Amino acid sequence: MTTVLVAYGSRLGSTKGIAERIAARLRTHGIDTTACDVQTGFEPGRYDAFVIGSAVYAGHWLKDVTRRVGEHTAVLSARPVWLFSSGPVGKLATGSAPVAPAEVRGLESAVNAREHRIFAGALDRGTVDGARFGAAERFIAKRFVPEGDYRDWTEIDTWADSIARSLSAVHAVPV
């Protein structure tokens, strides 16, 4: 049976929600799937495939996620990997095509990623005070970032379904 790790880096919970949704959707296809934060459960040697995502701040993936992926490129590059970014909210989420974070191109190449997707995020201002934000970042999040949930669950489910089909095709081929 194929085992998949859906690893994520999330500061306010939006990316975690996307990762958990992807993991749940893969499970509906009979795929043994675990979702975890990259800081607490990222043990790539135990899995056959990976979906890795990060929240995006100021056009960048979280440093912890980028670092952890970089530490495990040998294992990741030898197995199927999909990447996702979560972050645009408000008009950036709905009004234009999002731009891939600066690190993604290099990570795609380093791990031979099959695909990278950008999903709109969510902001609940009530979560900002408990976040590991500096004063300036907290001020910006509270005053200038639009509150709301812009995640498109149908788009996320469809992408997870495509990953499941791809994994089924890989394991249907005789070795």
b/e map 79-110, b = 16+ CB within 10 Å: bbbbbbbbbbbbebbeeeeeebbebbeebbeb
145 lies in a domain?
yes
Cβ(117)–Cβ(105) under 8 Å?
no
Residue 171 has pLDDT above 60, yes or no: no
What's the pLDDT at 173?
Answer: 43
77 lies in a domain?
yes
Which ranges of 95-152 does DSSP label H, i.e. alpha helix? 104-111, 135-143
Q: What is the pLDDT of residues 79-110, one digit of tens each?
A: 999 999 997 666 665 666 677 888 899 999 99
Residue span of the structural domain in which 142 resides: 3-161
57 confidence band (pLDDT: 50, 70, 90): confident
CATH code: domain of residue 25: 3.40.50.360
Q: Please give the tally of structural domains in the chain.
A: 1
Cβ(79)–Cβ(47) under 8 Å?
yes
174 lies in a domain?
no
169 lies in a domain?
no
175 by Cβ neighbours in 10 Å (0-12 / 13-18 / 19+) ranks as exposed
170 lies in a domain?
no
Cβ(121)–Cβ(87) under 8 Å?
yes
- How do 81-86 and 115-119 pair as beta strands? parallel
172 lies in a domain?
no
What's the pLDDT at 135?
Answer: 67
Residue 18 has pLDDT above 60, yes or no: yes
173 lies in a domain?
no
Q: What is the pLDDT of residues 106-147, one digit of tens each?
A: 999 999 999 999 998 887 766 666 666 666 665 666 665 667
166 lies in a domain?
no
